[in-house]
Chain A
Amino acid sequence: MAPLYALGCEGSANKLGIGVISHDPATNKTKILSNIRHTFVSPPGTGFLPKDTAAHHRAHFVSVAREALRAWAPPLTSVAVAARTLSLLWGLDLVGVNHCVGHIEMGRVITGADNPVVLYVSGGNTQVIAYAEQRYRIFGETLDIAVGNCIDRFARTLAIPNDPFPGYNVEQLAKKAFFEPDGATEREPVLLDLPYAVKGMDCSFSGILGAADLLAAQMRKQDALLASGGSLKEGEERITPEDLCFTLQETVFAMLVEITERAMAHVGSKQVLVVGGVGCNERLQEMMGLMARDRGGSVYATDERFCIDNGIMIGLAGLLAWETGFRTPFEDSTCTQRFRTDEVHIKWRSD
């Protein structure tokens, strides 16, 4: 049997990703042929509004799709229309894919982790997942906003740039907390007081965001006071954006590692795979590694090419489903935000 090829279209958030991937059933080898991404970067202090993001995706997709998209459509719908157009244009099968399953399968192929506990962390999702009986089962998840959303929104509070993405800039600021403003003299970062919200294997981030925003407001008051020649109260700690970013990362990542460890203990696994945009964060990877080492295991993570939303991950998950005979009829090729990870029958795994 000849190698199979799939074209994946991704556009659920501010990344428009299109990629081509192939899989050879005879050798079970996966080959990435292209992985193109164009990111919509919104101005500092703002998030990516669906309207602007959709406009971006439309502008950068094929001209055939652009005609069909003159009217408003949210990002995911825009890309779905474009994918349908390509399918008709080139006479290709359509295969609907669950976004999270795309992340998981891509992470497994790239890292070689065969049956890991998966932490899926992005701007829209926070889930701890383990495979059992042909399902990716959700062991724990956020009870409110996603961890990436919490970090992105805090970046907006501090009005730091969204280029290349807010979480990256929060990470860089957190690294600066280890140095004095001169950038050379080392210092001990200050861990400010933030709530810690873990409940069993679930966690919550909205209260933490609220508390971090309050600390940022207090910092701005200090700025104003010092600018007008005043001085801080005795014993009052000077709050800096660097310490704030450091504290936010240390707190939310500790929560993520804790719930992941609990899931690993529960299913008796020693592998952990981190996927999703927040999975690029080196501090999160480091903390996860320390936890895994203590359990005699290891952490598997990918870099920004694969852990941030991309087209090939959709292509890969689509390809695996296609090989088991799965097709999405044209009239059923809709998309939904309410498509849970554990709804997908993982027919291509039999372990």
Chain B
Amino acid sequence: MATPEPAAAIQPPPPPADSTSTHEFPLPPILQHPSAAGPAKLITQGAEGRLYRTSWLTPTRLCALKHRPSKPYRHPTLDARLTRHRILSEARILQKCRREGVAVPALYGIDESQGVLSMEWVPGRPVRVEINEFLRRRAENYPHGEGGRGREEVTRDEEGAAPLVGLMRRIGEAVGKLHKAGIVHGDLTTSNMMVRPWEKDKGLTKGHHGNGQEYEVERSLEGEIVVIDFGLASQGSADEDRAVDLYVLEQALFTVVLEAYKETFKAAPVVLKKLEDVRMRGRKRSMLG
């Protein structure tokens, strides 16, 4: 009997020539011209859009410019159709939010054929950063060991947590308003919400919004919640989609909790490892055995 020849394995493709994460992308044409405000700055790079900080009309008015570059894998006709449709849809959603009183960046202008949308630059920082910093500051100001705490300390903790509770309430209101306006966000993480300092607090800060510098003074969680990045948003009132928005938000907020937990408690890694087991089981320890 003939022994069957083992099949030859397929050779894996060679690794890319340059596998560093700093991949250089060409700027959209609109940002290739010299500008009095200086060169545009790449802020973030997602799966389909890149966000730049540049200026609008005057060199001091900052704007966020979103570019949806064309995808080389897509047929040019399909690519142009999708880019146009998505830029227009995002612009319409921003406009609708504005009309319904949901705090979002103001729409400045669009060039749907180039896949470009420019909007107000929202001063402040993402909710994720603000909460993390707030928790770290608190850990520094009220250092307590891993032992038990006195009654006084607990009370002080509850008082100290008030800004956080306030922030959570404002997040809930913002999302409620958004859903009431018939918009589903599609990616409601704490990175997609900004805390814009109240107008009255501006005088207290050293930094100035207009020049793009970050604040340097002691910050609180005070400020208006501005929802950003409507790239995956849609108009609709399906309860399923709204519930998914809330689920994503729930996960994102809990991630913040865990980050702070790790910073505070040195045995955290062991507990988090165990948490993975618990998550996998999906419930409490089995009563059997």
Residues of A within 8 A of B287 (CB): none
In the complex, the chain B residue whose C-beta lies closest to that of A284 is B73
Q: Do residues B4 and A200 form an inter-chain contact, with CB atoms below 8 A? A: no
Residues of A within 8 A of B74 (CB): 250, 254, 257, 287
Q: Mark B159-197, 1 if CB is under 8 A from A, else 0.
A: 000000000000000000000000000110000000000
Q: Mark B80-107, 1 if CB is under 8 A from A, else 0.
A: 0110000000000000000000000000
Partner of B16, one of A110, A113, A293: A293
CA distance in complex: A293, B16 (Å): 8
Q: Mark A259-271, 1 if CB is under 8 A from B, else 0.
A: 0011011100010
Whether, in the assembled complex, B7 has its beta carbon less than 8 Å from a beta carbon of chain A, the answer is yes
Q: Do residues B23 and A262 form an inter-chain contact, with CB atoms below 8 A? A: no
- If A254-B74, A254-B78, A306-B10 touch, whether A261 touches B47 (CB-CB below 8 Å) is yes
CA distance in complex: A112, B9 (Å): 10
Residues of B within 8 A of A32 (CB): 6-7
In the complex, the chain B residue whose C-beta lies closest to that of A196 is B82
Q: Do residues A191 and B78 form an inter-chain contact, with CB atoms below 8 A? A: yes
Residues of B within 8 A of A296 (CB): 16, 18-21, 23
CA distance in complex: A129, B14 (Å): 23
Please report whether the interface of chain B is mostly helix, strand, loop or mixed according to DSSP.
loop
- If A261-B47, A295-B23, A297-B19 touch, whether A302 touches B10 (CB-CB below 8 Å) is yes
From residue 285 to 343 of chain A, which have CB atoms closer than 8 A to chain B? 286-288, 290-291, 293-300, 302-303, 305-306
Partner of A298, one of B13, B46, B75: B13
Whether, in the assembled complex, B155 has its beta carbon less than 8 Å from a beta carbon of chain A, the answer is no
CA distance in complex: A270, B10 (Å): 20
Minimal beta-carbon separation of B283 from chain A (angstroms)? 15
Residues of B within 8 A of A60 (CB): none
Q: Do residues A262 and B10 form an inter-chain contact, with CB atoms below 8 A? A: no
Q: Do residues B12 and A133 form an inter-chain contact, with CB atoms below 8 A? A: no
Minimal beta-carbon separation of B13 from chain A (angstroms)? 5
CA distance in complex: A34, B6 (Å): 7
Report the interface size for chain A: residues with CB under 8 A from the other chain: 46
CA distance in complex: A34, B74 (Å): 39
Q: Do residues B19 and A291 form an inter-chain contact, with CB atoms below 8 A? A: no
Q: Do residues A191 and B75 form an inter-chain contact, with CB atoms below 8 A? A: yes
Q: Do residues A35 and B7 form an inter-chain contact, with CB atoms below 8 A? A: yes
Partner of A297, one of B9, B16, B276: B16
Whether, in the assembled complex, B77 has its beta carbon less than 8 Å from a beta carbon of chain A, the answer is yes
Minimal beta-carbon separation of B7 from chain A (angstroms)? 5
Minimal beta-carbon separation of B42 from chain A (angstroms)? 15
Whether, in the assembled complex, B48 has its beta carbon less than 8 Å from a beta carbon of chain A, the answer is yes
Whether, in the assembled complex, B72 has its beta carbon less than 8 Å from a beta carbon of chain A, the answer is yes
Whether, in the assembled complex, A111 has its beta carbon less than 8 Å from a beta carbon of chain B, the answer is yes
Whether, in the assembled complex, A345 has its beta carbon less than 8 Å from a beta carbon of chain B, the answer is yes
Q: Do residues B7 and A305 form an inter-chain contact, with CB atoms below 8 A? A: yes
Residues of B within 8 A of A258 (CB): 48, 71
Whether, in the assembled complex, A33 has its beta carbon less than 8 Å from a beta carbon of chain B, the answer is yes
Q: Do residues A298 and B232 form an inter-chain contact, with CB atoms below 8 A? A: no
Whether, in the assembled complex, A31 has its beta carbon less than 8 Å from a beta carbon of chain B, the answer is yes
In the complex, the chain B residue whose C-beta lies closest to that of A292 is B16
CA distance in complex: A290, B72 (Å): 6
Q: Do residues A250 and B75 form an inter-chain contact, with CB atoms below 8 A? A: yes
Residues of A within 8 A of B75 (CB): 191, 250, 254
Whether, in the assembled complex, A135 has its beta carbon less than 8 Å from a beta carbon of chain B, the answer is yes
In the complex, the chain B residue whose C-beta lies closest to that of A190 is B77
CA distance in complex: A265, B21 (Å): 12
Partner of A31, one of B6, B15, B72, B187: B6
CA distance in complex: A251, B75 (Å): 8
Q: Which 4 residue pairs spanning A and B have beta carbons closest together?
A: A265-B47, A287-B73, A290-B73, A112-B12
> With contacts A258-B71, A287-B74 known, what are 10 further pairs, Cβ within 8 A?
A33-B6, A110-B9, A111-B10, A133-B280, A191-B75, A250-B74, A251-B78, A254-B75, A261-B48, A298-B16
